[in-house]
Structure 1
């Protein structure tokens, strides 16, 4: 579904990414992990076609991003960013409705309204739909924007692609798992998602594959059980850890500390 070869990105004299290859298939959740400054968000932005860089080198559905129609592309892929405006003078419903802008010109259809309500219900913000967005807590705002991108990709198009940059920030345990299950439900329907995630144990539970970055280079890119080993994690994070089998699901369980 998404293919990129030898991605290198430099800012002034700094190399933020070097020779990164990505091959994402339908039905997959790829988690990008790594320490602060590893290049995770930079890679996600490039793959999502936000910077304009490498638009010829990144191929989505067998077509380079530069060849996509700008009005059609938002129906196929959407991105949740870790930073968003903290001051939006709108109701929660209207913020989520922004995700449906690719589908109407002046007035939303009933299908648009249905998609908005469905997305708000899935992210547990439906009871807040009439609230002023600016009155919400940080976690509530986070869930509103997650609802917005979910509403954007609510259609019958095959092989849709969702990008998520640290979507679990400010969320409690319940909503972290609820969002991750929603993303997995999305990929299990034949779509794909790329997510930047700091919590390695959540990545071990939900990711199909993990790409571990360090200083802009790929250290490992494989199934969680092959990436999350004591040797690799201790070296990349420069901190001792133990890796054992999670007693609930047998996935890798990473315990930091001596």
Structure 2
């Protein structure tokens, strides 16, 4: 799905990302974790081609990323950002409909509206249709934008890529897990998701592999059981931790302090 070789990103001659190398396969849910300032969101922005970078190789679905036309990319890839404007003068279903913009020139059709309703139902935002955006809580806005990116990737193209920057912000516990289940189902259809997460326990439970970032570099990229060790996490996060196993599913549980 993605092949990156020696990706670097500098601002004022300072590396914010340095020597990033990785290969991500289709059907994977990859969690990007690490302390504040490690480069997680910056890396996701590079994958989304939102900021300039230097690289020896960047292939998306076996083609150089520059091979794609601008109008093609939104059909293959969608990005969920952690920051959204609070001043959006649209109805809430119209915000979700923005995900369908790549598919029509003048007016949406019946299928577009059906897809919008489908994902508003799945993200439990359908009841918000007649409320204004300003009236919504932070968590409701998060789920609304999640519906928008899923709506964007509702098409017949195979092997789609979903980029999510801290999608669990402002969500209560139930909606955190429901959101990760939606993302997991998406990847189980041969799609791929790169997700920036702060909760290591949720990352351990849902991710196929983890990218642990530290000081603008990839500290380790592997399955959760190999990445999440007591020594490594205590050193990277600069805080002591203990690792045990969940009594039900045996996933790793990280306890800081």
Q: Which TM-score applies when normalising by structure 2? A: 0.97
Residue in 2 that maps onto 1:224 = 224
Distance of 2:240 and 2:41 partners within structure 1: 25
* Alpha-carbon offset, residue 134 of structure 1: 1.6
* Alpha-carbon offset, residue 110 of structure 1: 1.4
Residue in 2 that maps onto 1:64 = 64
Residue in 1 that maps onto 2:107 = 107
Q: 1:198 aligns to what SS in structure 2?
A: coil
Change (3 A) 1:144 1:55: farther
Specify every segment of 5 or more residues in structure 2 that has no aligned partner in the other structure, as ranges: none
Change (3 A) 1:249 1:66: same
Q: 1:46 aligns to what SS in structure 2?
A: helix
Deviations for 1:42-90, whole angstroms, at most 9, x for unmatched residues? 1011112211434873211111222201111101100000011111011
CA contact (8 A) 1:82 1:167 kept: yes
Q: 1:18 aligns to what SS in structure 2?
A: strand
CA contact (8 A) 2:209 2:223 kept: yes
Distance of 1:57 and 1:46 partners within structure 2: 13
Change (3 A) 1:52 1:111: farther
CA contact (8 A) 2:8 2:53 kept: no
Distance of 2:52 and 2:159 partners within structure 1: 22
Deviations for 1:206-241, whole angstroms, at most 9, x for unmatched residues? 000001011111111100010011011101001111
Distance of 1:52 and 1:147 partners within structure 2: 28
CA contact (8 A) 1:46 1:54 kept: no
Change (3 A) 1:107 1:79: same
Deviations for 1:193-214, whole angstroms, at most 9, x for unmatched residues? 0010000000000000001011
Change (3 A) 1:56 1:92: farther
Distance of 1:56 and 1:158 partners within structure 2: 26
Is 1:79 the counterpart of 2:79 in the alignment?
A: yes
CA contact (8 A) 2:7 2:55 kept: no
CA contact (8 A) 2:8 2:55 kept: no
C-alpha root-mean-square deviation of aligned residues, in Å? 1.1
Q: How many residues align?
A: 257
Change (3 A) 1:13 1:161: same
Distance of 1:56 and 1:103 partners within structure 2: 33
Q: Which runs of 4+ in 1 moved over 4 A?
A: none
Distance of 2:19 and 2:109 partners within structure 1: 45
Distance of 1:14 and 1:29 partners within structure 2: 30
Q: 1:232 aligns to what SS in structure 2?
A: helix
Distance of 1:107 and 1:53 partners within structure 2: 36
Q: 2:84 aligns to what SS in structure 1?
A: coil
CA contact (8 A) 1:153 1:160 kept: yes
